[in-house]
């Protein structure tokens, strides 16, 4: 059976509905959704010798039934395939018992797969055509989770390993961490690297409880041009962490924080054909932990509704972009938690380069949230963005959480803000932000979050109309995605400004927020008159990339209309 996914899933871009269906990969620029992956992306997205791109429903999915140590009894194994660089996809069913390769070694051109099978860890060689298993070698007599892509250093393969043992132990400050299995002879013999460790999260400050402490896990690694290997690591802390190896991955420096935000999210690093590095991850901060969270196991995920990409042309020293590649299509769903599936998010990803500058990215967890997205890396390096709500709230996060963790680590959602007709242009829409008391919500503050290309200095222009009875609000700038209703948002921001209740006269105003992170200043003006200045009191190593608007918390609020938003900034150096 073959299904052209282009016919089933309308092609969308992050910024608007595509005016025309792209005819070739050359037409792709902004992120464009083209298909739904057959499983949660981690591995399985691969380019074959004939140039076709495949995504298989790799082992580890519920349909993978293991019979014994030396044989798979696989049911319902299949893959989708694209012959036009990811624009259209067809579905292919495999015979029972057949598995597919997951990776290709760039040095020898051989395809392979690494899997935990029936209590052991295995390496499977698929030769240079990638169609049939040639041989298999036991890596070790223990099962490990291989939940990240290998790194290649010449002929060497570094396979990331996550033991996942500590989350069941309460009040233990010992860190289990991650490591790499290493082979120099394409899987015949194996060594093990030193272990990568990070500290545990602890309650304190805004956190009344402790996050799920899963230690260092899901490391992604890349060989740098200076001979070192660099790894970026998922943690339970506020940021991804990093370490370096000078001996090809055997021993690692003590991990330290990266400037990239992200709590319990998976990073993915890759080198492109022009030598640039691309990083994908959820550059987002979760809500503060609630009382009762003890760090033993997952409680609720609140920072997995957006996934980002950044690009570096100096081997990771500096980065540009920090743009949303995909917002969870179900981020506002009233049944977000109660719908089918376990993890529901867009934080997991895998990407390949289909053509120079053109990326095919598989993203997400659960069928309802997963997507395959195409984008051009040059889009990451833009210096401006604008929104007139012609595509509704496609570019915005505006949801609130309903109280009560349901199913697997999730809240049901509520669309806290909505679009309404623009009173100044009746054929257009605008955004209404209005506080309404609602004790069923985790926080009933209404908020709206909008991403733009990261910059160190720039300005945001907003056209707003505060309705008669407006009870005040806030405008903030950030370096990451923040939950729209997060009541600690102001403390996380570079600068926060009050939108005064006195603006509630029904007049249309032009706001201008100028910021310069290096000179540590931010200024808000209304109709050309300066109304407030703030000092940016912390470093901004990844620049400024987010606008957040929030209501006040006074009942009877008539609300604020946001008619237009635009941002322009200096290119990051």
Distances (CA, A) of 272 to 277, 327, 438, 563: 6, 24, 48, 39
Query: How much is the pLDDT for 142?
Result: 86
103-104 and 111-117: which strand pairing?
antiparallel
pLDDT band at 168 (very low <50, low <70, confident <90, very high): very low
Q: Classify 443 as helix, strand or coil.
A: coil
Query: How much is the pLDDT for 144?
Result: 82
Q: Which two tokens stand for residue 247?
A: 């001996």
Kindly tell me the number of DSSP H helices and DSSP E strands found in the chain.
Answer: 2, 44
Query: How much is the pLDDT for 515?
Result: 98
Query: How much is the pLDDT for 74?
Result: 61
Work out the average pLDDT over 459-463.
Answer: 98
Query: How much is the pLDDT for 64?
Result: 47
The reported pTM is 0.94
Query: How much is the pLDDT for 411?
Result: 94
Query: How much is the pLDDT for 128?
Result: 97
- Per-residue pLDDT of 361-399, as tens digits, reads 999 998 899 999 999 999 999 999 999 999 999 999 999
pLDDT band at 75 (very low <50, low <70, confident <90, very high): low
Asked if 262 and 243 count as a contact pair (C-beta separation under 8 A), the reply is: no
CB burial string 335-351: b at 16+ within 10 A, e below: ebbebeeebbbbbbbbb
pLDDT at 20 over 70: no
- Per-residue pLDDT of 330-340, as tens digits, reads 999 999 999 98
Q: Is 27 exposed, middle or buried (0-12, 13-18, 19+ CB in 10 A)?
A: middle
Query: How much is the pLDDT for 179?
Result: 94
- Per-residue pLDDT of 97-118, as tens digits, reads 788 999 999 999 999 999 887 7
**Of the ranges 72-86, 134-148, 477-491, the best mean pLDDT one:** 477-491
Kindly report which listed range (41-45, 74-78, 408-412, 502-506) carries the lowest average pLDDT score. 74-78
Query: How much is the pLDDT for 83?
Result: 97
pLDDT at 125 over 80: yes
- Per-residue pLDDT of 196-220, as tens digits, reads 989 888 888 888 878 887 888 999 9
Upper half-sphere CA count for residue 271 (Cβ side, 13 Å): 18
């Amino acid at each position: 059976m073959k299904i052209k996914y282009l016919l089933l899933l309308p092609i969308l871009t992050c910024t608007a509905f595509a005016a025309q269906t792209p005819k070739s990969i050359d037409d792709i620029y902004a992120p464009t959704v083209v298909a739904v992956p057959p499983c949660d992306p981690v591995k399985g997205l691969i380019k074959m010798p004939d140039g076709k791109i495949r995504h298989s429903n790799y082992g580890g999915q519920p349909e993978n039934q293991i019979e014994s140590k030396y044989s798979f009894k696989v049911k319902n194994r299949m893959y989708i395939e694209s012959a036009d660089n990811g624009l259209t996809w067809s579905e292919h069913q495999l015979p029972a018992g057949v598995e597919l390769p997951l990776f290709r070694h760039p040095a020898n051109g051989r395809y392979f797969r690494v899997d935990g099978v029936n209590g052991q860890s295995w390496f499977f060689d698929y030769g240079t055509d990638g169609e049939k298993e040639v041989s298999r070698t036991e890596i070790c007599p223990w099962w490990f989770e291989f939940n990240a892509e290998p790194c290649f250093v010449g002929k060497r393969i570094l396979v990331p390993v996550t033991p996942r043992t500590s989350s069941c132990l309460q009040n233990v400050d010992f860190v289990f961490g991650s490591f790499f299995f290493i082979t120099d002879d394409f899987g015949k013999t194996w060594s093990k690297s030193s272990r990568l460790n990070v500290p545990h999260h602890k309650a304190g400050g805004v956190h009344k409880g402790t996050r799920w402490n899963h230690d260092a896990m899901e490391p992604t690694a890349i060989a740098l041009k200076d001979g070192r290997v660099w790894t970026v690591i998922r943690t339970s802390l506020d940021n991804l962490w990093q370490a370096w190896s000078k001996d090809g991955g055997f021993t690692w420096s003590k991990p330290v924080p990266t400037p990239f935000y992200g709590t319990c999210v998976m990073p993915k690093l890759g080198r492109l054909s022009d030598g640039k590095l691309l990083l994908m991850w959820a550059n987002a901060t979760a809500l503060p932990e609630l009382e009762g969270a003890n760090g033993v196991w997952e409680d609720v995920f609140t920072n997995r509704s957006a996934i980002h990409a950044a690009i570096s042309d100096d081997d990771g020293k500096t980065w540009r972009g920090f743009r949303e590649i995909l917002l969870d299509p179900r981020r506002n769903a009233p049944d977000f938690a109660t719908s089918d599936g376990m993890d529901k998010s867009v934080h997991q990803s895998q990407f390949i380069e289909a053509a120079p500058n053109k990326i095919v990215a598989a993203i997400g967890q659960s069928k309802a949230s997963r997507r395959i997205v195409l984008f051009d890396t040059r889009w990451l390096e833009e210096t401006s963005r604008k929104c007139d709500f012609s595509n509704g709230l496609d570019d915005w996060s505006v949801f609130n959480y309903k109280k009560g963790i349901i199913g697997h680590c999730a809240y049901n959602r509520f669309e806290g803000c909505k679009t309404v007709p623009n009173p100044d242009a009746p054929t257009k829409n605008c955004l209404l932000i209005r506080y309404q008391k609602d004790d069923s919500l985790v926080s009933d503050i209404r908020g709206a979050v909008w991403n733009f290309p990261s910059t160190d200095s720039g300005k945001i222009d907003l056209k707003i109309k505060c309705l008669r009875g407006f009870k005040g609000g806030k405008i903030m700038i950030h370096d990451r995605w923040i939950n729209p209703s997060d009541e600690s948002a102001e403390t996380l921001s570079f600068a926060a400004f009050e939108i005064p209740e006195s603006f509630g006269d029904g007049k249309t105003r032009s706001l201008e927020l100028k910021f310069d992170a290096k000179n540590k200043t931010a200024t808000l003006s209304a109709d050309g008159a300066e109304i407030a200045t703030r000092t940016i009191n912390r470093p901004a190593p990844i620049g400024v990339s987010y606008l957040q608007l929030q209501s006040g918390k006074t009942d009877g609020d008539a609300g604020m209309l946001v008619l237009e938003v635009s941002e322009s900034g200096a290119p990051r150096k």
